[in-house]
Structure 1
Amino acid sequence: MKPKISYYLSHPIQYFSPLLREMSEEFDLHVYYFSDASIRGNVDVGFGQPVKWDIPLLEGYSATFLKNISGRKSLSNRIWDVVNPSVVTSLFKRDASIVIVNGWSYFSNLLTIIAAKMLGKKVWLRAENPLHQELKKSRNALRIKAVILKYLLFPFIDKFLYIGKESKQFFEYYGVKPSRLVYTPYAVDNELFQKESACLKNKELVKHQLGLPREKDIILFTGKYIEKKRPLDLIKAFHLLNASSAVLVMAGEGELRKEMEVYIHENDIKNVILAGFINQSEIARYYAAADVFVMCSGMGETWGLSVNEAMNFALPVIVSKTCGCAEDLVHDNSNGFLYEERDIKALSDGIRTLLENEELRGKFGNASLKIINDFSIQHIVQNMKAAI
């Protein structure tokens, strides 16, 4: 008999759906969502526009949407964004032995954890907080949080599902013992992306289809134009680079677009393309066209799954050390470069090094592909099975 698991998530997420489908193969799984914002096409706060993902988010597993009485249509990590009293009813109705909760940002996360434990269920918590970002907070904030987590929240948790080295260190910092830790690496659908990569091997053709110059190298950014992602850092680094042989493609959207456009215009920067929001069915083409991938995010970037995606296309990656994934995915000077957040010159120098050396790009790209194969959905499910 398959272990019975109930998984509570804020809303359908494009990165999580493949994992839930894989879990359904191994477990008697039912997913409960606190909100349906991502499938209704509501305004995404980060992108600053309505977003409706064009891939199936609900296929291959069973799910229920719990009524959210908060009255809020969009999610922005505020505790009262989702309030679902029916969480309690759902826990009574389904006799799952294990309840997995993703994070503790919302009221309903906390309600699920407390109610599940009171009903005698095993509670597993999956979270992505990186320790190095945590330690940048004030001493008083850390003391208060230590009391809340160590003595109020974490006693309700049986297993802590960490996503990488920084996530593990975060839990350990707040007193979680090794016996309660389970490694569930942050992963995308590697099989799908590598299949798409194989189908898009003709880079010149892909560039032509996207309207990109075939003769130029492509530096790629994918993500929201918001402060956390620091897109202006990359534009400034590209300006400093002054490479007429390259094009900077920024696939995304958000509140910083106007500021980015003004900077590009005032500094007369050529060959920068603000491509706008690119949906999941099209993003593979941009990775296939790229020669270098950059993630320049700052505080609040708890991982950066776009790096996983890029590495599935055998791309060299340049990532700021602040990103949660940096220590796990980027082996400095092996599959890419790490640099200190906000260090525009170091970012520009890293890009220059890769643009000037095609052989090095190929070497780093192959290393990326090898590394990312260890960060798989199958690995997550195997470790969950072993933890039961």
Structure 2
Amino acid sequence: MQPYRLAVLNSHVIQYFAPLYRRLAQETDIDLTVYYCSRQGLDAYADAGFGGQQIQWDVPLLEGYRAVFLDNLRQSKGVGGFWSLINPGILDELRRQRYDALWVHGHNHATYLMAYTAARLAGTAIFARGETHLLLRRSAVKRLLRRPLLHWFYARCDACLAIGSRNADFYRHHGVPDRKIFPVPYAVDNARFMALSDAGRSRAAALKAGLGLGSEVPVLLFASKFTQRKHPLDVLRAKAALQDRGLECALLLIGAGEQERSLRQYCRERGLRDVQFLGFRNQCELPGFYALADIFILPSESEPWGLIINEVMCAGVAIVATEEVGAVADLVRAGDNGLLYPARDIGRLTDQIASLLQDPARCRRMGVRSREIIADWSYEQCVIGVKAALRAVRPEGG
């Protein structure tokens, strides 16, 4: 039997996706080609979410799989709105190559809709994958306008690759039957994050000392963009409340963004102790800091997923997150490996953190469970889901 010929279309190079493509390319019954509409992510670029800081990823992004870069007519534009990506080359590629399936991440760029049309004309099955879920905050008007369009769109997809249970519910809400929904979980390179965090744990005492922290001081960690939706100020307010209660802990904030100045000002005005801003840290550095943490906090609202949760779970860390984070429905089991709270509820956030600081043994058990849970949420499950979708649309093989 010939291998299935699978094309993937991405807006740009994404550090989380490249290891998945390498893993899929190892399968002898999948002939994979990944198309990129932009070199953003491969070349250094200014990330608005990190305050315009230049970002250059420090992990392999193109190794181990076939990648093709499409010329973008909007050469001066980065990846942004609908018209920022216009790559007519995808039309000829899909016409000539006659893939068994085209996997597209979303529907929010002109090139994506061009590709959907070309795939349909070529008789190529269409796989949709996105991050959306029903709890994301949108205006009533926007919801009203989107619903018929999304019903129409997903009715024309041959398979939807669900990143998690909330994402699967989103597809069902828009009329997709279960037989067309295949679990392809949002995962990270577990093996790499586990290995690097283990190495970091062996150096934890030295790293703590380098940060001026005592070896027994519990460490809270926030690692994300300093933006309104991520609500890093909520973590500082909780830290202030813990300090008022006499609960000592250190707080490390990794990241950058538009709110950094106001966050630092809040720390000064409130007299917060043991709070350190560590700036942007790249992929190879992060696991060492994860290994220092006792509790990871993600206070986001309207969060599609939050892959940072996958990463810190690989390091064996207890999680405190809002109920609006997409990942928590699958990865954070309340009372088992973490605790949840309503977004923006600083009192409840403070109470959840305090309960773990006051019971270190429980906190450690949660960390152990985090690592056990994430071990089964991996690229291996992605391979199974992709193959199931391919068999469903091409039962006779590639």
TM-score under structure 1 length normalisation: 0.95
Tell me the amino acid that sits aligned with residue 109 of structure 2.
Y
2:363 aligned residue: 361
CA contact (8 A) 1:45 1:75 kept: no
Deviation string 1:331-384 (CA, Å, 9 cap, x unpaired) is 111111000000011111111111121100111111111111121011101121
2:113 aligned residue: 110
What are the residue-to-residue correspondences of 1:92-171 with 2, within 5 Å? 92-133=95-136, 136-151=137-152, 153-171=153-171
2:385 aligned residue: 383
1:91 aligned residue: 94
Tell me the amino acid that sits aligned with residue 181 of structure 1.
I
2:229 aligned residue: 228
1:373 aligned residue: 375
1:31 aligned residue: 34
Residue 2 of structure 1, CA deviation: 1.9
Larger mean CA deviation between 36-45 and 67-76 belongs to: 67-76
Q: Which segments of structure 1 move beyond 6 Å, counting only runs of 4 or more?
A: none
Residue 208 of structure 1, CA deviation: 3.2
Tell me the amino acid that sits aligned with residue 25 of structure 1.
Q
Tell whether 2:55 aligns with 1:54.
Answer: no
Residue 214 of structure 1, CA deviation: 2.8
2:349 aligned residue: 347
Tell me the amino acid that sits aligned with residue 356 of structure 1.
Q
Which of 294, 313, 316 is equivalent to 1:311? 313
SS in 1 for 2:251: strand
Tell me the amino acid that sits aligned with residue 225 of structure 1.
F
Mark the CA change 1:197 to 1:138 in structure 2 (over 3 Å): closer, same or farther: closer
CA contact (8 A) 2:33 2:67 kept: yes
1:186 aligned residue: 186
CA separation in 2, counterparts of 1:65 and 1:208? 45
CA contact (8 A) 1:72 1:82 kept: no
Residue 210 of structure 1, CA deviation: 5.2
Mark the CA change 1:206 to 1:94 in structure 2 (over 3 Å): closer, same or farther: farther
2:239 aligned residue: 238
CA separation in 1, counterparts of 2:184 and 2:367? 24
Deviation string 1:43-86 (CA, Å, 9 cap, x unpaired) is 0111121101011111111101111122444334x212212111
SS in 1 for 2:268: helix
CA contact (8 A) 2:294 2:364 kept: no
CA contact (8 A) 2:161 2:385 kept: no
Residue 28 of structure 1, CA deviation: 0.7
CA contact (8 A) 2:242 2:248 kept: no
CA separation in 2, counterparts of 1:58 and 1:210? 35
CA separation in 2, counterparts of 1:201 and 1:52? 26
CA separation in 2, counterparts of 1:270 and 1:259? 17
CA contact (8 A) 2:10 2:104 kept: yes
CA contact (8 A) 2:226 2:260 kept: yes
Residue 195 of structure 1, CA deviation: 1.6
Tell me the amino acid that sits aligned with residue 224 of structure 2.
G
SS in 1 for 2:187: coil
Mark the CA change 1:6 to 1:210 in structure 2 (over 3 Å): closer, same or farther: farther
Tell whether 2:95 aligns with 1:68.
Answer: no
CA contact (8 A) 1:42 1:73 kept: no
Tell me the amino acid that sits aligned with residue 344 of structure 2.
R
Larger mean CA deviation between 100-109 and 237-246 belongs to: 237-246
Mark the CA change 1:81 to 1:208 in structure 2 (over 3 Å): closer, same or farther: farther
CA separation in 1, counterparts of 2:251 and 2:78? 31
Identity of aligned residues (%): 34
What are the residue-to-residue correspondences of 1:232-381 with 2, within 5 Å? 232-242=233-243, 245-299=248-302, 301-381=303-383
Larger mean CA deviation between 219-228 and 206-215 belongs to: 206-215
CA separation in 1, counterparts of 2:39 and 2:143? 33
Residue-pair matches, total: 383
Residue 113 of structure 1, CA deviation: 1.4
SS in 2 for 1:168: helix
Larger mean CA deviation between 319-328 and 243-252 belongs to: 243-252
CA separation in 2, counterparts of 1:176 and 1:13? 27
CA separation in 2, counterparts of 1:72 and 1:255? 24
Q: Over aligned residues, Cα RMSD in angstroms?
A: 1.5
CA separation in 1, counterparts of 2:257 and 2:24? 33
Residue 209 of structure 1, CA deviation: 4.9
1:2 aligned residue: 3
CA contact (8 A) 1:114 1:156 kept: no
2:174 aligned residue: 174
CA contact (8 A) 1:207 1:214 kept: yes
CA separation in 2, counterparts of 1:60 and 1:209? 37
SS in 2 for 1:37: coil
CA separation in 2, counterparts of 1:74 and 1:295? 28
Q: Which blocks of at least 5 consecutive residues in structure 1 are unaligned?
A: none
SS in 1 for 2:35: strand
CA contact (8 A) 1:79 1:106 kept: yes
Tell me the amino acid that sits aligned with residue 115 of structure 1.
A
CA separation in 2, counterparts of 1:369 and 1:103? 30
Tell me the amino acid that sits aligned with residue 172 of structure 1.
R
CA separation in 1, counterparts of 2:206 and 2:288? 10
